[in-house]
């Protein structure tokens, strides 16, 4: 039997967290494929990176910030003039929450 990068317990936890419903054949196939992909990536552990500086962005660019200057803006009436529906100065939108069965 070959060693695996991702244990059965870790794979089962991942499947549960992803809320996947897999039959045993699918689980075996996907576990095998995931393990193969992780083994391919594992070769990077062989690289000597002791002299490589950590990096936050590959291009070396830094954020360029500007002064925060207050400028004139829309009035509330102007901001709401194209809203399809308003209520007491706010834009009305359809509800985004649904009841879910647990």
DSSP 6-68: S-HHHHHHHHHHTT----HHHHHHHHHHHHHHHHHHHGGGGS--TTPPP-S-TT---------
pLDDT for res 33: 95
pLDDT for res 55: 80
pLDDT for res 101: 65
Task: State the pTM of this model.
Answer: 0.47
75-101 tens-digit pLDDT: 999 999 999 999 999 999 988 887 666
Per-residue pLDDT averaged across 35-51, rounded?
91
Instruction: Report whether pLDDT(62) > 50.
Output: yes
Where exactly are the structural domains of the chain?
Answer: 8-46
Instruction: Report whether pLDDT(1) > 50.
Output: no
């Amino acid at each position: 039997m070959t060693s695996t990068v991702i244990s059965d317990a870790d794979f089962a936890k991942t499947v549960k967290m992803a809320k996947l419903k897999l039959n045993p054949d699918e689980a075996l196939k996907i576990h095998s494929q995931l393990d193969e992909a992780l083994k391919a990536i594992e070769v990077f552990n062989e690289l000597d990176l002791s002299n490589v500086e950590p990096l936050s962005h590959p291009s070396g660019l830094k954020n360029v910030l500007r002064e925060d200057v207050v400028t004139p803006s829309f009035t509330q009436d102007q901001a709401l003039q194209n809203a399809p529906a308003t209520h007491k100065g706010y834009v009305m939108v359809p509800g985004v929450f649904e009841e879910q069965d647990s």
